[in-house]
Amino acid sequence: MSKFVLSLHSSVSDHATLNNLSRFAHAALDDGHHIPCIFLYQDGVYHASQYVELASDELDIAAIWQALADRGITLMLCVTAAEKRGIDTTNTGIFKVAGLAEFAMLSATSDKWIQFK
């Protein structure tokens, strides 16, 4: 089977993109593929903010991320993009702080890199 790395570039308000990423990841894993990581980049880093509060009738993004982490996917947060956007990189919960170099190494050893924008 194939090995995919995924990256998310859109903000927390873009529910469609997060839903597409989640559906793809779960389907790929169910088909036996491997996803070592999802990398949050650009405005995607806002998903790791502990200060984002959405209304109760909006998409439960924390539950989506937890479900992906529970499937064994490492959730990586770009440290540079996060710091530029004022995200506290010392309090990232289930997200691992990483750099582009670490993501590039994972991408180089994968069959495909799939971006969700």
Q: What is the pLDDT of residue 38?
A: 98
- What the block records as the tokens of 91 is 């309090």
What does pTM read for this prediction? Answer: 0.95
Residue 43: what pLDDT?
97
Q: What are the strands of the beta sheet with 34-40, ordered from one edge?
A: 95-98, 74-78, 34-40, 3-8, 112-116
Which domains are delineated in the chain? 3-116 (3.40.1260.10)
Active site residues: 78
pLDDT tens, residue order, the chain (117 aa): 999 999 999 999 999 999 999 999 999 999 999 999 999 999 999 999 988 877 878 889 999 999 999 999 999 999 999 999 999 999 899 999 999 999 999 999 999 999 999
HEC profile of the chain: CCEEEEEECCCCCCHHHHHHHHHHHHHHHHCCCEEEEEEECHHHHHHHCCCCCCCCCCCCHHHHHHHHHHCCCEEEEEHHHHHHCCCCCCCCCCEEEECHHHHHHHHHCCCEEEEEC
How much is the pLDDT for 52? Answer: 81
